[in-house]
Structure 1
Amino acid sequence: MIVDTHLHLIDRRALRYPWLTGAPALNRDFSHADYAVEARRAGIETAMHMEVDVDPADIEAETAYVKALASDRESLVSGAIVSCRPELASFPAYLERVRADPFVKGFRRVLHVVPDDVSEGALFRENIRKIGGSGLTFDLCVQPHQIPKAIALADLAPDVRFVLDHCGVPDIRGKADHPWRAHVAEIARRPNVIAKISGIVAYADPSSWTVATLRPYVEHVIASFGWDRVVWGSDWPVCTLGGGLSTWVAATHALLEGCSEDERSRLLSANARRFWNL
């Protein structure tokens, strides 16, 4: 069975998503009900919701919304990675509120949608260090050329557990290896960073990718981080841009052909349960 560590739900009636106006293929509602039918058929038994970069005024409302969905006995959602703004002076108070809620498992601030110097600010870095000891993780969503910015954060906050989203977002469609390959190998040297094998079908040519297309990228990430520091995520509904949830699950199983049952189990579920106490 699979633990999905990267599920997005979109409900435009409940929350505001400014970025959706620039993403017409995703500018509609994506409900838990729609996800759950396909997820169960694909062998997904539980999921963590990943924040969807809502309007900043809706950040805590998004957490409350997802938590309410998770309270349903039939829900697959067992935790949430919530949005945050470490660049603001209000972050420490927000951190304390979040720490009191066991449903919240970590934070994410999407860094490729803001200027690079945001993560280099003194207040941002001070606030990231405050996460240390809380048991909460911080997801790093960056482009390949920004991975050194992520490395700097990991070095500055060795007590914080970081998660590199989407294999470091390689340009699979463009068949680009540089600087992604070297940067992934370098960030993997930090023991406080794990990698998420999540939704990379969205970065491949939707009309022509095959398992062979994805294999060099997935194998490099696993070889760099090792089987104990990788987890799996769907990145639904973004993965629909490259074939959809069932296609990505099927590709994952094909990519793991030849691996031991223990290695497969660690990637698909055991590591996630251990990292986030699911």
Structure 2
Amino acid sequence: MSQAKPSSPVPLTTARGTFRVTIDGDADAPALILSNSLGTPLEMWDPQVDAFSEHHRLIRYDTRGHGDSPVTPGPYSFADLGQDVLAVLDALDIARAAFCGISMGGHTGLWLGIHAGSRFNAIAVCNSAAKIGTPQGWNERATMVREGGQASMQALAASSPGRWFSADFVHSQPVAVQRAQAWIAGIAPQGYAACCEALATSDLREDLGRITLPTLLLAGASDQVTTVGDAQTMQMGIAGAELAVVSASHLSNLEAPKAFNQAVLRFLSTSRLSA
């Protein structure tokens, strides 16, 4: 069977600004919204579109500060980023959805599970952690980007493969790696810095027990940014959370799309989201 071409992005006016979104799949199917990682646009989810839209109304969006979504003055918080997700759902008249996010997007999913659980059927938190990195590290990166502008984004792009992908993937898939580097190089410095500042201040470790939704914690076996250990720690804090490990590094949906898709779809199916 030939694969359908993903829908083209469109502007969606919400109560919190105009976001760049794409919508694929049957309008009557259960809704699933995807949230991108720091430094990537919604196109990072291209390898998931065919598999996910077969069973879901699939919504992708550029996170605030990224792509053609609002690039507002920072710093941002995860309350901001979480409320943006709710605003997108509201604008589409979606009362409840499933959520899947990677890295920063996964952390957004944790915030939503804690503060807006009634709007979601389940959350898949991928390559993420309840506390990512250190305040000093994120604030230093934010300052570097604010002062260096687009040249600093180019420098981050040059160093990103080692953080995002395994060495084998970097060597065997240079086109995919270069595409990912182009994404981060094209992000607005102000938006990127403001998201770094959100990561600097967010620590959800003490609130994980408030999540009562079905939760999948997906980790990459070779991810050194958000490790399998981070996922295991979250699993201990979230009652009933499931753990899946795929053979990949940080952007596991790009490096191991088949295993990633299977793990997420299996979880969504067993969560009885169609009920």
State the TM-score bracket (shorter-chain normalisation).
0.3 to 0.5
**TM-score where L is the length of structure 1:** 0.37
**TM-score where L is the length of structure 2:** 0.38
